[in-house]
């Protein structure tokens, strides 16, 4: 395959994951205040095209995909500028307080290498690096061993704490394996996702809880959310293990993946983005309900 064709194929896989991420993000935010009845709120027939807004999760994922499109790898300085530029275009997309501070400082010319580690005095371990990274994993699906390094670079611009980085690496690895196993039985893909994520995620609470999550295959979604967290603390540790678990449970069923993710509450838009990006990486864009894609705000 010619290099340009190869790059184009990688980008298409990343964009399918991005569609899954952005729909999960937008609908997760729309359902957040009635998360417990999300299954009763799935009729979008009266909604205008593109009327359900996405949040900062998708805005930052768009920057990652754009950098991959242009440079075929994560260029940290350029990604930092892209994050800050998109933030300046529309800062009211649900960015956290620390994200506001970091992106404003980067936009004013500060070096992310100084700003990011200073967050909270130790770097942020929030779930913001994990929420945006699934398309990166899909892009590098044919080079799984490369994913931890590229995911780390995408994360540390805003999340310098090892837990925040570990959360991003874990999600990217799962999305990469899910993409690589497209067309193969779900059970094979799930087993490889668990093996890869527990072996290659850096040592951290995130990794420890992923190992715990792997043993909860027969638990209910609610039980797992109570055991591992549902993102209510907005941390990678409190978010990523449950999201990986539920993505593995629903890897071939995008609609069920998003509904079951949202209905446990917590950080609904971010959980939806993480799970949606991983599941679409395996199931493809066609698995996303057409009506959900229609009402999601146009990506730009």
Any domain includes 175: yes
Any domain includes 203: yes
Any domain includes 300: no
Any domain includes 194: yes
Any domain includes 272: yes
Any domain includes 218: yes
Q: How many CB atoms lie within 10 A of CB 18?
A: 29
Q: Which domain holds residue 183?
A: 3-295
For 248, phi then psi, to 5°, come to -65, -35
Going by pLDDT thresholds of 50, 70 and 90, the confidence category of residue 2 is: confident
Any domain includes 85: yes
pTM score above 0.95: yes
DSSP structure class, residue 218: T
Going by pLDDT thresholds of 50, 70 and 90, the confidence category of residue 1 is: low
Tens-place pLDDT, residues 109-150: 999 999 999 999 999 999 999 999 999 999 999 999 999 999
265-285 mean pLDDT: 98
Tell me if residue 265 falls in helix, strand or coil. Answer: coil
C-alpha 41/C-alpha 58 separation (Å) is 22
Chain centroid to CA 300: how far?
18
CATH code where residue 119 lies: 1.10.4080.10
Place of tokens 């980085």: 165
Number of domains in the chain: 1
Q: Where are the beta strands (DSSP E) in the chain?
A: none
Going by pLDDT thresholds of 50, 70 and 90, the confidence category of residue 275 is: very high
Average pLDDT across the chain, whole number: 97
Per the CB < 8 A criterion, the answer to whether 32 and 277 are in contact is no
C-alpha 283/C-alpha 289 separation (Å) is 12
C-alpha 20/C-alpha 286 separation (Å) is 10
């Amino acid at each position: 395959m010619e290099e340009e064709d190869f790059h184009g194929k990688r980008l298409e896989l990343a964009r399918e994951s991005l569609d899954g991420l952005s729909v999960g993000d937008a609908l997760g935010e729309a359902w957040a205040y009635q998360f417990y009845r999300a299954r009763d709120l799935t009729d979008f027939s009266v909604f205008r095209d593109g009327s359900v807004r996405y949040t900062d999760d998708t805005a930052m994922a768009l920057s990652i995909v754009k950098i991959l499109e242009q440079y075929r790898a994560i260029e940290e300085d350029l990604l930092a500028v892209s994050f800050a530029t998109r933030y300046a275009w529309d800062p009211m997309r649900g960015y956290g307080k620390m994200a506001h501070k970091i992106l404003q400082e980067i936009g004013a010319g500060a070096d992310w290498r100084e700003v990011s580690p200073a967050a909270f005095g130790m770097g942020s371990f929030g779930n913001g690096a994990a929420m945006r990274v699934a398309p990166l994993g899909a892009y590098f699906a044919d080079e799984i061993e490369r994913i931890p390094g590229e995911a780390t670079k995408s994360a540390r611009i805003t999340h310098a704490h090892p837990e925040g980085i570990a959360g991003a690496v874990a999600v990217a690895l799962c999305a990469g394996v899910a993409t690589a196993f497209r067309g193969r039985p779900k059970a094979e893909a799930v087993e490889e996702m668990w093996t890869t994520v527990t072996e290659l995620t850096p040592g951290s609470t995130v990794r420890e809880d992923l190992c715990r999550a792997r043993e909860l295959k027969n638990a209910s979604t609610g039980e797992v959310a109570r055991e591992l967290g549902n993102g209510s603390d907005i941390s990678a540790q409190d978010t990523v293990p449950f999201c990986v678990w539920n993505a593995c449970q629903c890897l071939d069923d995008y609609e069920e993946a998003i509904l079951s993710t949202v209905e446990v509450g917590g950080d609904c838009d971010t959980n939806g983005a993480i799970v949606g990006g991983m599941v679409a990486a395996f199931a493809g864009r066609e698995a996303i309900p057409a009506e959900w894609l229609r009402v999601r705000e146009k990506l730009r």
